[in-house]
Structure 1
Amino acid sequence: MSRLTVEEIKAAYSMRDIVERYGFHPTRAGFIPCPFHSGDRQPSLKVYDRDFHCHACGANGDIFTFVQMMDDVDFRTAYQSLGGVYEKGNRKASMIRRRQFIIEKQAREKAERQFREWRATRFLQVCRLLRMLDEICRNMEPFTDEWEAAMNMRQDNWYKYLILAFGTREEQEDMRELDE
């Protein structure tokens, strides 16, 4: 059996997967009747992507907490029931996994930092170009070939501005790939 870390288990299962494992079917809004208190006429437990919260009794937690509360078990048992394996005395393997996790986390943080830097730089470039094109177009004869080329360039950069200012992360990533 392969060893899964807590983070790998959390990545493998959504909170919805876990509640459905116990026979609950969340509403479209993500609510189920709370199994942790009685008299729940209206579903009061909200199922989020990675955790849950009951708005009536206050029960909340992640997938491990839900399994612990449902099965009345400790964390270790909940961890094992979700695929985790405890191996006594294997500190070296644990240290290697922890180091690997840190390296991957640092790589994700570096990539995010690089993306934010690219976005800020690109946003400034597009804004400067738009201001410059506005100034140039004011001094050009309308409907000439040069004016139309400048207006087309302005329209293209206005679209880029909208993506950088209001677009989704996916749209911005696509734009970044085209820039490279």
Structure 2
Amino acid sequence: MTVEEIKAAYSMRDIVGRYGFQPNRAGFICCPFHGGDREPSLKVYDRDFHCHACGAHGDIFDFIRMMDNISFKEAFMSLGGEYRKPTFSSRMAVYQAQKQRAMRLKAAEKERERRSLNNMLISVYRAYMERSEPLSEVWCDCYNALQYQLYVQAELSGLEARW
């Protein structure tokens, strides 16, 4: 079974029940990961858990790992998981996903740089317009350049809205 199949087969209440805990009507149990609880503080949800006192949280695998002090692989195997040796195609898929993520991050960084440069140009053109005489040659050049940069900024924002 895969991780998704195991998560579909077992609810968090099933796993908590394996360890002898019975959630109250509100879905709380005394947290086994810290001591000193007068009232139950660990909330058991359908697919995960969260302790409002010590901050412990996770899914069914995390609960088993923390209770038995074992690795994820051992928790996975204890719930009927099957380990399959990675194949070339699975490794290639992971590599391609990492490469695509790196390309998206690089494109996002390039876009941030472009926006930063555009904002800097807008402020420079506005400053020159304020210092020059209205309708002079310098003022007109700055006005036209400013209009262009504002147009570029609107186009960049329009692309962002479409995504």
TM-score with structure 1 setting the length: 0.48
Question: What is the match of residue 71 of structure 1?
Answer: 68
Aligned twin of 2:23:
26
SS in 2 for 1:58: coil
Distance in 2, Cα, partners of 1:76 & 1:20 = 21
1:20 CA displacement: 0.2
Aligned residues: 91
2:42 to 42, 45, 60: 45
* Residues 123-134 of structure 1 mapped to structure 2, 5 A cutoff: none
SS in structure 2 at match of 1:46: strand
| Structure 1 residue 27: Cα displacement | 0.4
Q: How does 1:3-152 map to 2 (within 5 A)?
A: 4-89=1-86, 91=87, 95=90
Greater shift in the superposed pair: 67-76 or 80-89: 80-89
- In structure 1, the gaps of 5 or more residues are 99-180
Matched residue of 2:61: which SS? helix
Pairwise CA distance, 1:41: 1.3
Q: Where in structure 1 do 4 or more consecutive aligned residues deviate above 3 Å?
A: none
What whole-Å deviation, never above 9, does each CA across 1:24-83 have from its counterpart, x for those lacking one?
A: 000010000000001111000000000000000000000000000000001000000011
Structure 2 CA distance for aligned equivalents of residues 88 and 12 of structure 1? 23
Secondary structure of the 2:73 match is: helix
Identity value in percent: 73
Once residues 83 and 5 of structure 2 are traced to their aligned partners in structure 1, the CA distance between those partners, rounded to angstroms, is: 14
RMSD of aligned alpha carbons = 1.7
Which has the greater radius of gyration?
Answer: 2
TM-score by length of 2: 0.53
CA distance in 1, matches of 2:38, 2:14: 23
What amino acid does structure 2 have at the position aligned with 1:41? Answer: R
Paired with 1:41 and 1:74, the residues of 2 have a C-alpha distance of 30
Q: Following TM superposition, by how much is the alpha carbon of 1:87 offset from its aligned partner in structure 2, in angstroms? A: 2.9
Q: Which residue of 1 aligns with 2:152?
A: none
